[in-house]
Structure 1
Amino acid sequence: MKPSLSYFPHSTNTFFERRIRKLLLKHQANGYLLYNYLKTEIFKLNGYYLDYDELLYDDISDWFKFLSKESVGEILNTLFEIGLFDKQIFVNQNILTSVSIQEDFVDIMKGMRRQYYIQPEIRLLGNDYYESSLRVKDKDENIMKSSEDFGKLPQTKNNSSENFGRITQTSEDFQKMENASEDFGCNSEVSSKNHTNYLERKGRKEENEKKKLKINKLSFSLEEKQKLLEIFLIEKNFPFDEFEKFIN
């Protein structure tokens, strides 16, 4: 699969570069226009090279009708002479490429974290640059993998997050919970949440029962006291201090 690209870098110092200034000086805007067109085709079609064949020549003729065949040839010769394209590779294989184009290609592919490869027979990059770029790419991939793994919780059989908040139950507690569920009309097993709710409701119920018992006891005591007092008043001979001891 050819690594076709949608863009390529364009330095803001392009027109201050010595080779570009020579090209403009000799061929004016037409020279730079043809050079930039060929660079665009290189990145768009193959990423770092372009076959110079009849099909490409026909495209140039269609796009630049104001350029004669002789003018195109002269501009190409200038591009080889000043080093914007590699002359030796063009002579041997009819391929347009250059060191700067291959460097831009590698940098783009690294930036997009895509696989890249330059054919050894037309590779102009030194082994140090090319291999170091591959090592940087592998390092970036490892960093990406580490960032994807970062934050993942290790999967364990007994995950503490699953057990967090659970109530440890003994067989006796579970039996009490089952009895409580029957009291509340529940036939299914009581969950820890239901158990907590049950304890809260049970506490409130016991507290209410104590209040009712206290009230009933108090009412009964007052009633008894009234009856006893009537009896003692009738039996006037019963000592009043003994009556106080009796009712208390």
Structure 2
Amino acid sequence: MTAAGVNPVIDQSLEKLREIEDKIRELFDKVNDVMSWVPDILSDLIEPVRRGMNALNAKMAEFWDAIKRFWKDVGDPAKLRQVAAEWSDRIGDRIGDIAGSVSLDKLKTNIEWSGKAAETYKVTVPAQVAGLNSLKDLGLQIRNSLVNLANGLESFWTQIYGTLAALAIAAVAALLSVISVVGIPAALAILVGMIGAGVASIFTTISAVDSLTNSIGVEQTAIQDKVDSLGATWPRINTESMSHSTDWKRRS
């Protein structure tokens, strides 16, 4: 299991899972204890309890099978947001600052110089600035994609916690109701129904987060396509147009 401290709602959900596990085990022990005092001659009372226990055991197997899909890999929304911020602060914003500093209106080349060299700068610099701005936009898109994933992951765990909290309450109620052989079947039937509804809710929640991750995957593919479209070469200045002294003319 992932260590505690990843995220409050995730920690609370994992604690609810442990609580449910403990209460169900306690319920089985209590039912077995009550049943140990019932003679076989009262089979009419024993058989409904056995059916209820079998149904509960089967439904709990379904429950744990659903939980396995995220029990050991809970995710880390905080880490996703940290990486997203790094894409924004260290890449997007910094590249944007560089693009702003090398734009034609910021360079003195075209103010103080004329001739072939200055014209070469005029042709090349806009392409370089456009490339930098494209990189900045990609950095911000990656940030937004990661933030959306973090938000979706937290929403997933918030819904899971709600489902688990309801199941924990149902388990406690069933445990309190198991005080006589007569009341056990009804308590088990209610708990089995609650667990069935909980399993359905869990799968619905999983389906929603699967849809989100698929959308994020599409976004990441689109971003990769944009990266590929930038090309492998940086727009270079044609140094042949500024290699002779006559290529440079200082403006008077």
* Max Rg structure: 1
TM-score past 0.5 threshold: no
- Interval containing the TM-score (normalised by the shorter chain): under 0.3
TM-score normalised by length of structure 1: 0.25
